Amino acid sequence: MPKPTPTSAGDYTAIFAARLDALKTEGRYRVFADIERLAGQFPRALYRPAPDAAPVDVTVWCSNDYLGQGQDASVMAAMQDIIARTGTGAGGTRNISGNSHELVELERDLAAWHEKEAALTFTSGFVANEAALSVLAKQLPDCIVFSDAANHASMIAGIRNSRAEYHVFRHNDVAHLRELLAAAPADRPKLVAFESVYSMDGDIAPIAAICDAAADFGALTYLDEVHAVGLYGPTGAGIAEREGLSHRLDVIQGTLGKAFGLMGGYIAGSNLLVDFVRSFAPGFIFTTALPPVIAAGARASLKSLIAATELRRRHQANAARLKELMAEAGLPVLASESHIVPLMVGNAEACREAAKRLLERHKIYVQPINFPTVPRGTERLRFTPTPYHDEALMQALVTALREVWRELFLPLAA
Ligand X SMILES: *Cc1c(COP(=O)(O)O)cnc(C)c1O
Q: What's the number of CA atoms in the CB half-sphere (13 Å) around residue 257?
A: 17
d(CA 319, CA 248): 29
Q: How far is the CB of 358 from ligand X (least distance, A)?
A: 23
d(CA 156, CA 133): 9
Q: How far is the CB of 262 from ligand X (least distance, A)?
A: 9
Judge whether 238 and 252 are in contact, CB under 8 Å.
yes
Of 295, 392, 290, 345, give the one whose Cα is nearest residue 27.
345
Q: How far is the CB of 160 from ligand X (least distance, A)?
A: 15
Which position among 61, 66, 113, 126 is part of the footprint of ligand X (CB under 6 A)? Answer: 126
Q: Which residues are catalytic?
A: 258
Judge whether 188 and 146 are in contact, CB under 8 Å.
no
Question: Which residue is at the shortest CB distance from ligand X?
Answer: 125
Total chain residues near ligand X (CB under 6 A):
14
Which amino acid makes up residue 48? R
Q: Tell me whether residue 211 or residue 340 sits nearer to ligand X (CB atom).
A: 340
Q: Tell me whether residue 219 or residue 256 sits nearer to ligand X (CB atom).
A: 256
Q: Tell me whether residue 100 or residue 124 sits nearer to ligand X (CB atom).
A: 124
d(CA 64, CA 351): 20
Q: How far is the CB of 65 from ligand X (least distance, A)?
A: 11
Q: How many helices (H) and strands (E) does the chain have?
A: 15, 14
- Residue 195 binding ligand X, by CB under 6 A: yes
Which position among 121, 147, 154, 221 is part of the footprint of ligand X (CB under 6 A)? Answer: 154
Which position among 143, 226, 344, 398 is part of the footprint of ligand X (CB under 6 A)? Answer: 226
d(CA 45, CA 50): 15
Which position among 246, 255, 370, 373 is part of the footprint of ligand X (CB under 6 A)? Answer: 255
| Residue 26 backbone zone (phi > 0: left; psi -120 to 50: alpha; other: beta) | alpha
Q: How far is the CB of 148 from ligand X (least distance, A)?
A: 11
Return the ∠ at Cα 316 (arms to 312 and 318), rounded to 5°.
Answer: 115
Q: Tell me whether residue 224 or residue 250 sits nearer to ligand X (CB atom).
A: 224
Residues found near ligand X in the complex (CB under 6 A): 124-126, 129, 152, 154, 195, 199, 224, 226-227, 255, 257, 265
